Chain A
Amino acid sequence: MEFNNNIPIYLQIIDNIKQDIVVGKLKAGQKMPSVRELAGILKVNPNTIQRVYQELDREKITFTKRGMGTYVTEEEKTISSLKEEISKKIILDFVEGMNKLGFSNKELISTLKEYL
């Protein structure tokens, strides 16, 4: 995974994991790598991964069983709302970017159609 060092690294890893869950690369109920393993794979500080798992647990996207590890949620609902959350963010970024370029919403839609 390539990082953009301008943004907190734990946020980027969280986004990446969320994406993997939404597209099914990480399955519901699947065990996540341990903190050390993931730190080794991504070559980041283990405390960063600790923070990632804490945050994902807090958002109920993963859950941690004491002494067993961290698992992806089994709630399909959580996963589908995750998908919504991510698509919303992509769309908002797109609209914002186009507006910045001076596209009105109408122009934006017609331009978008050319690419579909």
Chain B
Amino acid sequence: MEQILKSSQLSKYFYQKKALDKVDINIEEGKIYGILGPNGGGKSTFLKIAAGLLKPSQGEITIDNKKPGVYTKSIVSYLPETNYLYKWMKIKDTLNFFNDLYADFDVERARESLKFMELEEEEKVTSLSKGMMGRLKLTLALSRKSKVYLLDEPLNGIDPISREKIITSILDSYSERTSILICSHLIYYIEKLLDYVFFLSEGRIILSGDAEELRNKRGMSIDKLFQEVF
């Protein structure tokens, strides 16, 4: 299988604080990965560096053999945890916004996804509930035909119905040519989706492995393993 994202000895410091400490992560095509860990463990920092929003302090990361930059941004779709949509926008404006920004944005796919997510194009972004906002952001991120999807806490603060819809959409956008990297501390709900997991704590990978093998070897769910490790 082809390697699409690789970090070697990747470190990031914020003044004295080590957010990432010599992190080695390899991501192959056609697999779904979980970076799991407590809040403040470095998950979001890793995604931000991969998305090209932060620069590493030491070490390096490459995506399709290139350092983060214009090219990698064209093949990486990043779902940030924060709200980045302008307040004046209606949902249809967000589609146009993404369509202008990204050459690989598929408006048709986005419209279909909106229907599935039960979102109306005329609705204003500011009137959306937290769950609806989560569904909209995911629709936008997954409607790009990207090689790599970086999803930062897609289920955080999301109600059960939205959660099911989000999980279905993530599965729908998976293909043998794509890789999906999900950061989350809500392991229970996403562990069925994951091929491979990395446990990240205090900036370090403390455990990694094939999800099914870990269940087999340890005789427990990834969720329980997580609770045991931390």
Contacts and interface: CB of A to CB of B under 8 A. Distances in A.
Contacts of A39: 171
Contact of B212 (A8, A40, A46): A8
A61 to B, nearest CB: 19
Contact of B192 (A3, A7, A51): A3
B31 interface: yes
Contact of B171 (A3, A5, A43): A43
Contacts of B216: 8
Interface range, B side = 20 to 34
Interface string B208-230: 00001101100111111000000
A21 B18 CA distance: 54
A48 interface: yes
Contact of A7 (B31, B191, B215): B215
A9 interface: yes
Interface residues of A, number: 16
Interface in B110-125: none
A40 B171 contact: yes
A45 interface: yes
Contact of A46 (B174, B222, B223, B224): B174
A47 B192 contact: no
Contacts of B57: none
B82 to A, nearest CB: 27
A44 interface: yes
Contact of A6 (B164, B171, B194, B224): B224
Interface of A: 3, 5-10, 39-40, 43-48, 51
